[in-house]
Amino acid sequence: MNSEKFDFLVIGSGIAGLFSAIKASEKGTVALVTKRELFECNSVYAQGGISCVMEGINEKDSFASHIQDTLEAGAGLCKEEAVKAIVNDAPSRIQDLINLGVNFTTRGEVENGCSTEEAAEYDLGKEGGHSRRRVLHAGDVTGEELIRALVSVCKNNPKINVFENHHAIDLITTERLGWGEESNQCLGAYILDVENDVVKTFHSKVTVLATGGAGKVYLYTTNPDIATGDGVAMAYRANAQVSNMEFFQFHPTCLYHHEIKSFLISEAVRGEGAVLKVKKKNKYVEFMDKYHELKSLAPRDIVARAIDRELKESGEKCVYLDITNHDAEYLQKRFPSIYEKCLSLGLDMSKDLIPVVPAAHYCCGGINTDIKGRTSLERLYAVGEAASTGLHGANRLASNSLMEAVVMANNAIDDSSDLLAKYDGAAVQAQRNAIPDWSRGNATDSDELVVITHNWSEIRSFMWDYVGIFRTTKRLQRAKRRIRTIQQEINHYYWNFVITPDLIELRNLAGIAELIIDSALSRKESRGLHYNVDFPNKSNSAHETIIRRR
C-alpha cells in the first residue's frame, strides 16, 4: 500500500506553498509536494517585489492609498473587504519574512550619499498603478531571494517532509468516493511519484493548494514550463467553485530576442523612469500619452493593449523601453540581473533601447476562496495565484501578488486549527483506512506520445490567437469548438494509457483553457483584463464569473 499520512498536505513550492508549510509546521506534520525540484517554481522568477505600506519609511504613503490604488486597478471587481484585510495585514507578514531570513535591498545599496540612518532603510520601488513608492525588493531578483530563504527554513524543519518530483493527479473527495457526506470534503490527493513510477495516496486532515499560475496555456508567456494550472484544474474536477478565469494578465514588457525565452523586463524598470516607445519612420516615439494619464506607468492591461494596438498599426514586431535617463552605475545596482542579461545580448540599458512585447503573465482568477483561504470544499484551502480571493478583481496591481501569497497562507493555516481538532481521533483513522489506492486498470504504455505534444502546441496556439489580449465572440466560439474536440482526445488517451507527468499537465492545461474560454464567453462587456471587441464598454453592474463542474 503506497500511502502517506499527514496533518497537512501542501501542494506547490512557490512562496505561498513554502510559507504555508512553515506556518503549518507549528500546528502539525506537513507534506510539501512539488512536481519538480523544490526551488523550481513560478515565484522564483518574480523580479519586481512585494508591495506593502512601510510606515516610518515613506510618510507620504498610507493603507488608504494602497487600498485605493488596488481598487482602481481592479476595475470595479475587487472585494473591498478582502483588499482592506490583505493590505492591512501585509506589514506583519513582511516582518515574518524578515525574521525567516529574507534580505530586502536597502537604500544604501542603491543610492550614494545617504546618511547612516537613511542607508539602513529599505529601498522602496514604484510600479505601474501605484501612486506611492511601496514595493520592497531584493535587487531585481526578489522572488529568488524569497524562495532561497523559505526553502532553507523548510529543509531544516523536521516537521516538514518534502516530496520532490511528485505530480498531483487528483484530489480525493468524499463525493468522488461516493460516501454520501452532507458536505463534499477533501481527504487528500493521489500523487504520482515520478522517480519510482508509482501513484501514492496522500491522506491529510487539511489540504492546501498552492500550485501557482497557468501561463503555459498561452503560446507566449513569462511563466516557466511548470505553470500549467494544476491546482485550479484539480479543484474544478473535484467540484470546487472557480471564479473570474477570463481575467488573464499579459505583462507588457517581455524581452523580445530570438535567443531568449520568457525573460521578463520588470515593471520596476518603468517605475524608475523608463518610457515606452515605438519605431515609426526610423524614429522612436513615445505613445502611452495617447492611452492613459499615467503614460508608461499606466496599469498593465492598458499598457498591454496599447502596445498590441501600436504593433498592429506600425507593423513592427516589438516596441522599446528607454531607460537611458539613468547611468550604467545606477542600473547595475538597481537591476543587476536585467542589466547583465541585456548586456549578454549586446544591449547596454544605459545607452540602448530594450525591445519588448506583451506575454501572458498572471491569472487573476482561480479557485474561489474567502478571506481565510477556504474553498467551497470542506478541508480544502487555496492560496497564491491558484486562488481567487477578490484582491485583484479584473486586473492585478503590480507586486500585490507576493503580498497576497504570504497574507493568505498565514490566514489559511490560522483558520485550519478548528479542522485539525474536528478531524482527529479514531473516526479519521477509519476514514483514512477506507480510502482505496489508485488503480491503473488496463492502461498500457503509449507509443504515440506525439498526441500529447501536438495537443499541447495546438492549445497554446489557438489560445494566443483567439483568447488573447483582444477577443471577439466569434474567435471565442471557434476556440470553444477546438477545445471540446481536444478534450475528447485527451480523455480517451488519459483513460487508456499509463499516467505520465506530460499527460497530467496536458489534461490540466486543457481544463484551464476551457475554463478561460467559458468565462470569457459568459462576460458580455469589456472590463479590466478582458476586452471583447463585440462588447467594448463596461457594464453598469459588476459581477463575478463563477463556474462549477456540472
Q: List the CATH number of the domain containing 343.
A: 3.90.700.10
Same domain, 50 and 186: yes
* Domain contains 438: no
Same domain, 239 and 90: yes
Q: Specify the pairing of strand 275-280 against strand 283-286.
A: antiparallel
Q: List the CATH number of the domain containing 46.
A: 3.50.50.60
pTM of full prediction above 0.85? yes
Same domain, 265 and 394: no
Q: Specify the pairing of strand 3-11 against strand 198-209.
A: parallel
* Domain contains 33: yes
Distance CA 466, CA 478 (A): 8
Question: What pLDDT was estimated at residue 169?
Answer: 97
* Domain contains 150: yes
Question: What pLDDT was estimated at residue 128?
Answer: 81
- State the residue range of the domain holding 307: 252-360
SS3 at position 192: strand
Final residue before a domain boundary, out of 324, 343, 360: 360
Same domain, 72 and 115: yes
Distance CA 404, CA 324 (A): 33
Final residue before a domain boundary, out of 360, 382, 397: 360
CA 52 from chain centre, in angstroms, equals: 18
Q: List the CATH number of the domain containing 482.
A: 1.20.58.100
Question: 1: exposed, middle or buried (C-beta count within 10 Å: 0-12, 13-18, 19+)?
Answer: exposed
Same domain, 112 and 233: yes
Catalytic-residue membership of 300: yes
CA 146 from chain centre, in angstroms, equals: 15
SS3 at position 73: helix
Q: What is the pLDDT along the chain (550 residues), one digit of tens a residue?
A: 689 999 999 999 999 999 999 999 999 999 999 999 988 888 888 878 999 999 888 888 999 999 999 999 999 999 999 999 999 999 999 999 999 999 999 999 888 888 888 888 999 998 888 999 999 999 889 999 999 999 999 999 999 999 999 999 999 999 988 887 678 999 999 999 999 999 999 999 999 999 999 999 998 899 999 999 999 999 999 999 999 999 999 999 999 998 887 788 988 899 899 999 999 988 999 999 999 999 998 888 889 999 988 988 888 989 999 999 999 999 999 999 999 999 999 999 999 999 999 999 999 999 999 999 999 999 999 999 999 999 999 999 989 999 999 999 999 999 999 899 888 776 677 777 888 888 766 666 665 678 888 999 999 999 999 999 989 999 999 999 999 999 998 888 888 778 899 999 999 999 999 999 999 999 999 999 999 999 999 999 899 999 998 7
Same domain, 385 and 464: no
Q: Specify the pairing of strand 198-209 against strand 380-382.
A: parallel
Domain count across the chain: 3
Distance CA 45, CA 212 (A): 12
Question: What pLDDT was estimated at residue 250?
Answer: 93
Same domain, 316 and 394: no
* Domain contains 472: yes
Same domain, 327 and 369: no
Same domain, 38 and 133: yes
SS3 at position 309: helix
Final residue before a domain boundary, out of 334, 360, 386: 360
List beta partners, residue 188. Answer: 172, 203
Q: Is residue 17 within 8 Å of 168, Cβ to Cβ?
A: no
Where does residue 399 fall: left (phi above 0), alpha (psi -120 to 50 degrees), or beta otherwise? Answer: left
List beta partners, residue 193. Answer: 166, 198
SS3 at position 532: strand
Same domain, 130 and 54: yes
Q: Which residue has the cell 482561480?
A: 366
Distance CA 232, CA 358 (A): 24
Distance CA 78, CA 200 (A): 39
Report which residue type is found at 266.
Answer: S
Q: What angle do CA 96, 102, 103 make, to 5 degrees?
A: 130
Q: Which of 93, 134, 270, 300 is catalytic?
A: 300
Same domain, 353 and 389: no
Same domain, 295 and 186: no
